[in-house]
Structure 1
């Protein structure tokens, strides 16, 4: 079975103030009044949507999402935030012990080409609500009790428009761990079942989404320039289900960057069982939101 999911390019934002030269082209107009936490002052915003002006929506939506955080505490994160995160957090000892106790996952941990890193989505950011789903909702003994991420030590980020050299040389060796730039070991619990003893297909998409997110964050960290943190969104994802992912079970999720083009990132990944069999595969395109002066 092959399923393709595509997110809406951008959502309409209430923060779009139409320019004067568009006033005659207005199709819909809404006055939205919001009350600030500091007083009784009002803000008035206008919004318009018209064919031929979709790029205005795209720019505004990206700006809106740039501050999709708590109104109480909009902490401005810098582009090198991942370095601080990795230094401040370590994988839990119980998780390391769990995967060290299994022969096939222990071999992955002992691979000198990789090193352990904290799985970003597992750490909730309280003042913004970021990562709450993986940090809380599925952080239980019966959902996903253990996640351990590893990254390739010599992770190389390709220039825009160039395919990853490692991927080019190993396209036919899908069973070879060497082409994986990020590896995630996951323990999947019984509460993830849809059909009896089978992990829900939608949750498998979530697994890919979070693993690929870590992959892109690591690559972005290689090439980031001083400034605010870049925000990335999933644009499309195509998933092929080849065999059931059993619940409960332990699986390996591997992913790699195929290429990047401007603000677009193209990734691939697989979910693999203890026998090395590919159960599910995915291809995804991510987009980095545009930066705005003063945002």
Structure 2
């Protein structure tokens, strides 16, 4: 069980992220013009944050999302929001959310939403998103869910970032074609954690509850990193 001071640290950092949210939104005004996106952004249970993989890095990490897919023809706009820890969702309850239970957990943020404004450069068929790109989004949002938790932890303990986990498998089910160009939404949440293994579910949706695709993935933490935490 974490100490009361530890819980207070988490809360303080969540509050700090909330204060930074307006600056994040200032660079993503496009989504405020779309009613269903605006509803999510204005929901007090969701907090806007930077999208880690959209930021260029000197070591060339994340170039696929930060450079290749950050153009007017691919992902034109991108906004990440995380659900405020402690707020039950359709996937977690007061009895299952580790933050609400007060248990020691590396992932206090249990769910993220990714708003994307797509161009026609991700097409397979005309005006239809390529299936490989859809799979990429499903995988990427899982990584974002892990990374926002890692960044929150870094703000508390001040440790340098390490590789948190790798995708071990990704099982994708395509339900409907994803239309382009235009906005879509990715959603992602933790299913369970067992040792080095973390199971995650993600979806690509239309903003009205319609699901285009769903993925179930498992992420594996490197052995050396895991041993260092024991």
Change (3 A) 1:99 1:222: closer
Q: Indicate whether 1:210 and 2:140 are aligned.
A: yes
**Where is the helix percentage greater, Structure 1 or Structure 2?**
2
Change (3 A) 1:120 1:222: closer
Q: Indicate whether 1:196 and 2:126 are aligned.
A: yes
Q: 1:118 aligns with which of 50, 69, 79?
A: 50
The answer as to whether partners of 1:193 and 1:200 remain within 8 angstroms in 2 is yes
Change (3 A) 1:130 1:167: farther
Bigger RCO (CA 8 Å, 6+ sep): 1
Change (3 A) 1:155 1:119: farther
CA distance in 2, matches of 1:222, 1:264: 20
CA distance in 2, matches of 1:136, 1:269: 23
Match of residue 184 from structure 1: 114
- Number of matched pairs: 191
CA distance in 2, matches of 1:227, 1:251: 35
TM-score w.r.t. structure 1 length?
0.58
Contiguous gaps of at least 5 residues in structure 2: 1-12, 97-109
The answer as to whether partners of 1:121 and 1:131 remain within 8 angstroms in 2 is yes
Secondary structure of 2:56's counterpart equals: coil
CA distance in 1, matches of 2:159, 2:56: 23
Change (3 A) 1:145 1:228: same
Q: Indicate whether 1:151 and 2:67 are aligned.
A: no
The answer as to whether partners of 1:182 and 1:256 remain within 8 angstroms in 2 is yes
Change (3 A) 1:248 1:115: same
CA distance in 2, matches of 1:289, 1:189: 36
CA distance in 2, matches of 1:284, 1:222: 22
Higher-Rg member (1/2): 1
Task: Kindly report the root-mean-square deviation, in angstroms, between the aligned alpha carbons of the 2 structures.
Answer: 2.9
Q: 2:207 aligns with which of 244, 262, 274?
A: 274
What's the CA shift for 1:192? 0.4
Change (3 A) 1:191 1:112: same
Instruction: Write out aligned runs for 1:42-57 (5 A).
Output: none
TM-score w.r.t. structure 2 length?
0.74
Secondary structure of 2:75's counterpart equals: coil
